[in-house]
Amino acid sequence: MNRVIIFDTTLRDGEQAAGGSLNVQEKLQIAKQLECLSVDVIEAGFPVSSPGDFTAVNTIAKEVRTPIICGLCHANPKAIDRTWDALKVAARPRIHLFLSASDVHLVYQLKKSRDEIVELAYASIVRAKKYTDDIEFSPMDASRTEPEFIYRIVQAVIDAGATTVNIPDTVGYAIPGEFGKLIGGIFKNVTNIKKAVISVHCHNDLGLAVANSLEAVKQGARQVECTINGIGERAGNASLEEIVMAIKTRQDFFKLSTGVNTTEIYNASRLVRDLTGFSVQPNKAIVGGNAFRHQSGIHQDGVIKMPITYEIMDPKTVGIPSSSLVLGKLSGRHAFRERLSELGYHLTEDSFNRAFQAFKDLAEKKKEVLDKDIESLVAEEQRTVAETYHLDRIQVTSGDRGIPTAAVRLIGPGGKVLEDAALGTGPVDAVYKTINRIVQVPNTLTEFSVKSVTEGIDAIGEVVIRIESDGITYTGRGADTDIIVASGRAYMNALNRLIAERQSAGKPARKS
């Protein structure tokens, strides 16, 4: 095989990142973008873990038809059956079974012997094979397991019918040379290895997830499990964009390819950033704000003369436009639509009209509207498509001598106008207290951050907040040139996510 299978687990392992909860519609939106990206496999969730995850996997299985749709499950009959119930409508379903393998997990967590693990893995695969031939198995914590036991369990699960065997570095413990040796050992010591694809799933606790994954590919692994922007449990997973672009850029070294449409990478990165609320660090490889920016005079001189002097990738190959078109209050619909297209946005007519109106409003406040401003406007538009409550108006008074006061108007279900006012320790606190009086959804604000989208006193400010309710964290984002308005939008974004999640689970959102 000269092609590496790209297995995206943004919607499963990526969502396990603390504070990264997504609702069903947000997961579907990401899944459709992953389909545009042409990933081979989408791990859509963990169906047995919650009714919401079951619904998400089932919805994606119905509506996303090109990639393989995969569901993760424990090695037990109930989980297997439940996973198949979610996946059976998929055009190309896969069941992904996992079971701990390392002694530290067996002794302290499962309290089972190695023989029991092998027997349970074998029996679980046999049961899953009744539903589909596409079965993946993962011996969890493989990088801290004796290689000889890994060889034994891989041999057994392939005999049972597994078509993909994934070797996870579950806790990010491995070092590239060591991990490569484990993968190479599997190919040398497992006699039926040609009957299955070897996959790897590496975590980034030591910052080595991508390096370990690429070393495994070098040793013969032909599936890599990764996430957009590298999000995931703890320090995250191997970054999809880094894996894909390393293989593409260094084809001379790997002599391999992927089927990924790399021009959709930036769109995918931006969407996951906006929906999860996890910002992308400026120096992040491939998709960071500084990835294709040059400040050094020597570098600038070289890039002007010949981009390849200091750019090993053309930014357009990952969907980042290199051209620059300055927009302002005199710019028309055609120029705005053209810039949206260059930035990779293709909006419906209604969404375009709303975004254009927001652009014109912003252009009245700013001399020049930059790409980041436009991205923020479109993200704001996409965040407000499905709302239970819409923030219609905010008015605040504050100062060092007065008591901060906020009056808020919301548009509720059925178009009902809801208004109230409250005092607070500051203008944002007063706004949030007023919203809480109206909506009456119990929650605790756990994080609040503000950043400038662009430079200058007229810049758009972006607010990211996290609220917690019943032990679940919900992220909200809002943007505006007025920080108080941005704060209100972020709070409403988080509350609407909370309400949608509770409604999907059949729970009341408001206080009884």
Are 236 and 319 members of one domain? no
Q: For position 435, which CATH number holds?
A: 3.30.160.270
pTM over 0.85: no
Write out the residue range of the structural domain in which residue 464 sits: 390-504
Q: Is residue 284 part of a domain?
A: no
Least confident of 87-96, 177-186, 222-231, 266-275: 266-275
Q: Is residue 512 part of a domain?
A: no
Q: For position 138, which CATH number holds?
A: 3.20.20.70
Are 467 and 418 members of one domain? yes
Tell me, what's the pLDDT at 198?
98
- R_g over Cα of the chain: 25
State the average pLDDT over residues 33-59.
96
CA quadruple 271, 274, 276, 279: dihedral, nearest 10:
110
State the average pLDDT over residues 87-108.
96
State the average pLDDT over residues 480-506.
88
Are 351 and 436 members of one domain? no
Are 433 and 368 members of one domain? no
pLDDT, tens digit (0-9, with 9 covering 90-100), for 376-415: 788 777 665 568 999 999 999 998 888 999 999 999 999 9
Q: Is residue 49 part of a domain?
A: yes
Are 156 and 17 members of one domain? yes
d(CA 253, CA 356): 46
Residue 176: is it exposed, middle or buried by C-beta count within 10 angstroms (0-12/13-18/19+)? middle
Mean predicted lDDT score pLDDT of the chain: 91
Question: Among residues 321, 356, 382, which one ends one of the domains?
Answer: 382
Are 477 and 362 members of one domain? no
Residue 300 has pLDDT above 80, yes or no: no
Tell me, what's the pLDDT at 325?
54
State the average pLDDT over residues 198-227.
98
Residue 435 has pLDDT above 90, yes or no: yes
Q: Is residue 289 part of a domain?
A: no
Are 51 and 88 members of one domain? yes
Are 376 and 398 members of one domain? no
Question: Among residues 243, 276, 309, which one ends one of the domains?
Answer: 276
Are 156 and 79 members of one domain? yes
Tell me, what's the pLDDT at 121?
97
Kindly provide the residue ranges of all beta strands, DSSP E only, lying in 153-266, ordered along the sequence.
164-169, 197-202, 223-226
Tell me, what's the pLDDT at 402?
85
Q: Look at the alpha carbons of 258, 260, 262, 266 in this order and tell me if their dihedral is positive or negative.
A: negative
Tell me, what's the pLDDT at 324?
52
User: With pLDDT > 90 as the criterion, what percentage of the chain qualifies?
Assistant: 67
Range 328-335, long-range pairs (CB < 8 A, 24+ positions): 328/363, 328/366, 328/367, 328/368, 328/369, 329/360, 329/363, 329/364, 331/363, 331/369
Structural domain total, the chain:
3
Which ranges of 343-419 does DSSP label H, i.e. alpha helix? 349-363, 371-383
Residue 64 has pLDDT above 70, yes or no: yes
Question: Among residues 382, 407, 423, which one ends one of the domains?
Answer: 382
Kindly provide the residue ranges of all beta strands, DSSP E only, lying in 36-111, ordered along the sequence.
41-45, 68-74, 93-100
Q: Is residue 509 part of a domain?
A: no
Are 94 and 185 members of one domain? yes
Q: Is residue 292 part of a domain?
A: no
Q: Is residue 83 part of a domain?
A: yes
State the average pLDDT over residues 40-44.
98
Q: Is residue 282 part of a domain?
A: no
3-state secondary structure of 496: helix
Residue 106 has pLDDT above 90, yes or no: yes
Are 104 and 144 members of one domain? yes
pLDDT, tens digit (0-9, with 9 covering 90-100), for 303-322: 678 888 888 999 899 998 76
Are 193 and 136 members of one domain? yes
Angle of the 176-189 helix axis to the 209-218 helix axis, nearest 10: 30
